[in-house]
A and B are shown apart, each in its own frame.
Chain A
Amino acid sequence: MNELKVKILELLKEDARLPAERIAVMLDVPEEQVKQAIREMEADKVIVKYATVVNWSRVDEEKVTALIEVQITPERGRGFDAIAERIYLHPEVKSVYLMSGAYDLLVEVEGRNLKEVAAFVSGKLSPIDRVLSTKTHFILKKYKQDGIIFEDRQDDRRMAVTP
């Protein structure tokens, strides 16, 4: 990937709403070139989506998230992909990673409450044929996600005016 695209991605990663025109000024390249690069990255699925990072604990809505370790038997010829797909297609599932180490898949599940998540695990996840075992960990508090710290912090400790 060329240097311009990487720089654009770094800026968009910080602020997905940064207009192409401003990116062009910041990187000192023509605006059309920035737009073209973004279009290409969208087409190539390098840029997958412009989503919002939400701190749900600030929202008056019940929501629990669990990380579930899943051990599975891989399928002949298709490895883990087919089972991963069967799992990630469920709307409750927010992310699925294939892991090295003691278990195979790490599944992030969201629900309105503990009961709902438990019902998903016992009713939908565990019964899948090749799932050998599951271990469910509920998230109590999110401190940082995708490099973004959720706590209120006063990081700029500079004095307002200095020589």
Chain B
Amino acid sequence: MSYRTDVSARPKRRSMQDYVASAVRSIPPSGIRRFFDLVASSKDIISLGVGEPDFVTPWHIRDAAVVSLERGWTTYTPNAGLPELREAIAEYLYREFECLYDPAKEIIVTVGGSEAIDLALRALVEPGDEVLIPEPCYVAYHPLTVLGGGVPVGVETTADDRFKLRPEKLEAAITPRSKILLMCYPSNPTGGIMTYEDLLPIARIAQQYDLIVVSDEIYAELTYGRRHVSIASLPGMKDRTILVSGFSKAFSMTGWRMGYACGHPDLIAAMLKIHQYAVMCAPTMSQIAALDALKHGMEEKARMVESYNQRRRLFIRGLREIGLECHEPEGAFYAFPSIRKTGMTSEEFCQRLLTEARVAAVPGHVFGRGGEGFIRCSYARSVEELTEALERMGKFLESCKMM
């Protein structure tokens, strides 16, 4: 068979779209993106839709990066990240969360926590494997699972349970193809957390059904009233868990794209293989900055956490005062109040809130099952803005009642 006939036998592609791989085509564009366009084209909006800290990265961290650039440290680092940084991460995770990892073999520095999740899924998922995902959840989990060849399986969590993952619900979703539990606590978007007692039965199920837990703990430092517990620190869970975290939220370093993953050496080695071919290494100046954050950033971090906590109390109280039911979020910087009593869908509510009250919140349905009927509000805004937003929301709710 000649090359020429081979080509002509291929189906004709009519538009450029036809060149795009079908898996990519199958993924719907992010619901948040659509909403972003809407907000960006409006004026005088107070946006509670921002999923990042409102602090600029502490000065000393920025300075460390600047100094590294002045010195000309602009080369690659080892694929897994600077050895000093991995050592500092190991020390930090042990001190803060009692998770013990060998910096030489069990830690990889990634381009944000996002890359770490992508790597974990790509390294572990075989076509058709099911990935269990507690919902509402971060918007990237489903698409990344699909791109990795897996099948996302939502596991519902509810406001009555303060959006904790419950063992009955998890167990009911398990099939012979279940391989991974991908969860995020403290949770974006709900602010829910999992305590040691909450995690115990989940760990038992993971062991019983031979699941690997990919635990996105990017908000681990932002808990209020009690310290975060990693599922990796539970008996028998270290080897079964890929702990994903990073610097974005705790140290206000979103734009630096600094994350990491920790786990069994074999799993980390597999992730490293993809990482080294896909991105070589995380940006050097960001790694230097991250190292400085771990060395000198604890005081600033504590100050920022205290500030979130103050605003959290203010905002939750305010939501309840204007009549929106809201479970007590114990982590991250999100409130996830119910808007069901307005009779609107969350999409409709957010759209009207935006145009009529000039406040932007993210409709809950974009975070998957169980998100409908809720809205995500970030309280990482100034006290004045939060107060003004609450006032506008209150008036809006009043006007809804009158109609």
Contact = CB atoms under 8 A, between A and B. Distances in A.
Interface of A: 11, 14-15, 18, 22, 25-28, 155-156, 158-163
Nearest to B310: A26
Interface of B: 30, 32, 35-36, 39-40, 45, 47, 49-52, 54, 56, 138-140, 188, 310-311, 313-314, 317, 360, 362, 383-384, 387
Contacts of B49: 160-162
Nearest to A156: B54
A14 B310 CA distance: 13
Give the top 10 A-B pairs by smallest Cβ distance, nearest first: A161-B49, A26-B310, A161-B36, A162-B51, A160-B47, A160-B39, A163-B139, A163-B32, A25-B317, A158-B50
B385 to A, nearest CB: 10
Contacts of A162: 32, 36, 49-52
Contacts of A18: 383
10 contacts: A14-B383, A22-B387, A28-B313, A159-B36, A160-B47, A160-B360, A161-B32, A161-B36, A161-B362, A162-B36
A160 B50 contact: yes
A22 B318 CA distance: 10
B47 to A, nearest CB: 4
Given A26-B311, A156-B54, A161 B317 contact: no
Contact of A163 (B39, B45, B138, B384): B138
Nearest to A17: B384
Nearest to A24: B313
B52 A158 contact: yes
B47 A163 contact: no
A158 B54 contact: yes
A127 to B, nearest CB: 46
A162 B30 CA distance: 10
A15 to B, nearest CB: 7
A161 B52 CA distance: 9
B383 A161 contact: no
Interface of A is mostly: loop
B47 A26 contact: no
A95 B387 CA distance: 35
Nearest to B303: A10
Contacts of A15: 383-384
A18 B384 CA distance: 9
A160 B314 CA distance: 22
Most buried by B among A25, A26, A28, A160: A160
Contacts of B47: 160-161
B392 to A, nearest CB: 16
A161 B311 contact: no
Contacts of B317: 25
Nearest to B224: A28
A131 B35 CA distance: 68
Nearest to A14: B383
B354 to A, nearest CB: 10
A25, A28, A159, A162: residue with the most chain B Cβ atoms closer than 10 Å: A162
Given A15-B383, A160-B45, A161-B36, A26 B314 contact: yes
B218 to A, nearest CB: 12
Contact of A160 (B30, B36, B313): B36
A158 B39 CA distance: 13
Contacts of B39: 160-161
A157 B313 CA distance: 25
Contacts of B383: 14-15, 18, 22, 26
B187 to A, nearest CB: 13
Contacts of B56: 155
A9 to B, nearest CB: 14
A93 B23 CA distance: 73
Contact of B313 (A11, A26, A161, A163): A26
B35 A161 contact: yes
A2 to B, nearest CB: 16
Nearest to A23: B310
A156 B385 CA distance: 12
B244 to A, nearest CB: 16
